[in-house]
Amino acid sequence: MTYRAHLVTSAAAFTDAMEALWDTWASDTPGATAMQRWAWVGANIDRVPRGMFVGLILRGSDDLPIAAAAFKRTGPGVLVPIGDGVSDYLDIAVSPDAPPTTIDHLIDAISEQAPAVLFRQCHPNGPLGRAFRGAMEDGEACPVLALAPTVEEQQLAIPKRLRQNLNYADRALRKQASEVTYRIADQDSLAGDIDACIRLHQDRWRRRWMPGTFAGDTHKQWFADVSQRLLNAGLLRLHTLSVDDKVIAAIYCMTSGGTTIYYLGGFDQEYHKWSPGMLATRAAILHAVSADKSHTFDFLRGNEPYKYRWGAIDRLNMRLLLTRGPYGTAICALERQRFALELKLKDRMHNLHAGKSAHARPDAVSDKINP
């Protein structure tokens, strides 16, 4: 087969050409999560400033698209995939019918666009992870939980002590309130549930005297936009736990391809003794089994102790750093240093704010968005 790479610098033109194909490919690709679906990718493409977008479409012998990739310029000679900074999984899109050599040709075309191309978060079983496993570097750990096929089996799979504690917490909470409600956001409740999710998530950071992810209106607007797109595509699972019409916990999940991912969450500190965050997480896990038929519940990056209480085990993200020439080599060397420093800072923050208390108070919820 012969290949032809088509460079697209207009985000609108790339969207027109690839929106439907990209989502179809992603929905049929092993290892692809909701973060590879167009609802997520398209919302992030729309955030790219004018003149900073770079798209590549690889066409086969029949001149039809068989693979694509989308990037943002972040500095002189540096490209990062669309969604870098807010996504735990970044990848390319490839037709399931594409020949095995397709990804190699797409990567060659990508490498020609900049001295340094940084895929900082790749799923090990995604297209890049499978194609370049030997050439990729280890990234952050993502604790993942293998789910049972039925709700009954999943209930029993929850460690006994945790299961007993959650059952007690649920009963105790119901004694304190006239009404306790677990539900999932729909078109009617989405706006209010998004506001509650942001409020609860930000409260955690304010207690640490930090601005938090949603300190600015720009990120709040993006979050509302991507949430609406995910809901329209049937991918959003925003779980809330309410007491007498007051939301006291929110767990923001997405689902696709048999994997439910837990993106972020928050809970009301006033109710911490009833473990509302863990109760809402249990509801999310059981819904992933019963309604979405998921085989995996992915807690995404971060080694917070509460994730392992569910029985999750680590799976490493992968990193693919493409370089061209001395400048690209230098950029990637700086990226490796930045990543090492980031891990040290996260460990320090974890020890300061989560360490012992994460065991004592299982509601310590991790942040999935890089501010």
d(CA 368, CA 347): 15
d(CA 291, CA 236): 13
Task: Using DSSP, state whether 30 is helix, strand or coil.
Answer: coil
Please give the pLDDT value at position 303. Answer: 85
pLDDT average, residue stretch 345-363 = 58
Residue 367 counted as domain residue: no
Please indicate, yes or no, whether residues 296 and 160 belong to a single structural domain of this protein. yes
Residue 239, Cα to own-chain centre: how many angstroms?
Answer: 16
Please indicate, yes or no, whether residues 298 and 185 belong to a single structural domain of this protein. yes
Could you tell me which residues are beta bridge partners of residue 318? Answer: 122, 138
Please indicate, yes or no, whether residues 159 and 304 belong to a single structural domain of this protein. yes
Q: What are the backbone dihedrals phi and psi of residue 200, each rounded to the nearest 5 degrees, phi first? A: -70, -40
Please indicate, yes or no, whether residues 151 and 124 belong to a single structural domain of this protein. no
Look up tokens 């996504």; give the residue: 87
d(CA 367, CA 358): 14
CB 148 within 8 A of CB 289: yes
CATH number at residue 106: 3.40.630.30
Residue 9 counted as domain residue: yes
Please give the pLDDT value at position 330. Answer: 97
d(CA 276, CA 247): 10
Banded model confidence at residue 368, pLDDT cuts 50, 70, 90: very low
Please indicate, yes or no, whether residues 81 and 224 belong to a single structural domain of this protein. no
Tokens encoding 231: 């809901």
Please indicate, yes or no, whether residues 124 and 190 belong to a single structural domain of this protein. no
Could you tell me which residues are beta bridge partners of residue 145? Answer: 297
Number of H helices, E strands in the chain: 12, 13
Total domain count, the chain:
2
129-155 burial, b if ≥16 CB within 10 A, otherwise e?
A: bebbeeebeebbbbbbbebbeeeeebe
Please indicate, yes or no, whether residues 157 and 265 belong to a single structural domain of this protein. yes
Give the sign of the dihedral formed by CA 81, CA 82, CA 85, CA 88.
Answer: negative
Please give the pLDDT value at position 208. Answer: 66
Structural domain containing residue 194: 144-314
pLDDT average, residue stretch 187-202 = 96
Please indicate, yes or no, whether residues 81 and 156 belong to a single structural domain of this protein. no
pLDDT surpassing 90 at residue 63: yes
In this prediction the pTM is 0.92
pLDDT surpassing 70 at residue 366: no
Please indicate, yes or no, whether residues 235 and 100 belong to a single structural domain of this protein. no
Please indicate, yes or no, whether residues 119 and 189 belong to a single structural domain of this protein. no
d(CA 359, CA 92): 38
Task: For residue 198, give every residue at least 6 positions away whose Cβ sits within 8 Å of its Cβ, in sequence order, or none.
Answer: 214, 220, 223
Task: Render 178-242 in DSSP notation, one character per residue.
Answer: S-EEEEE--TTTHHHHHHHHHHHHHHHHHTTT---TTSSHHHHHHHHHHHHHHHHTT-EEEEEEE
Banded model confidence at residue 359, pLDDT cuts 50, 70, 90: very low
222-258 burial, b if ≥16 CB within 10 A, otherwise e?
A: bbbebbbbbbebebbbbbbbbbeeebbbbbbbbbbbe
Q: 225-231: which pairs have CB atoms within 8 A and are 24 or more residues apart?
A: 225/43, 225/46, 226/39, 226/40, 226/43, 226/44, 227/185, 227/190, 227/194, 228/190, 229/39, 229/40, 229/42, 229/43, 230/34, 230/39, 230/40, 230/254, 231/185, 231/186, 231/187, 231/190
Residue 128 counted as domain residue: yes
Residue 199 counted as domain residue: yes
Helices (H), 87-141: 102-111, 127-131
Antiparallel, parallel or unpaired: β 296-298 and 259-267: parallel
Look up tokens 């679906």; give the residue: 37
- How much of the chain exceeds pLDDT 70, in percent? 94
pLDDT surpassing 70 at residue 15: yes
Tokens encoding 220: 């709040």
pLDDT surpassing 80 at residue 137: yes
**Burial bucket for residue 259 (CB in 10 Å: 0-12, 13-18, 19+):** buried
The CA–CA distances, whole Å, from 309 to 259, 278, 304, 335, 350 equal 19, 10, 10, 33, 16
The residue type at 189: S
CB 275 within 8 A of CB 137: no
pLDDT surpassing 80 at residue 56: yes
| DSSP state for residue 309 in the 8-state scheme | T
Tokens encoding 258: 């048999």
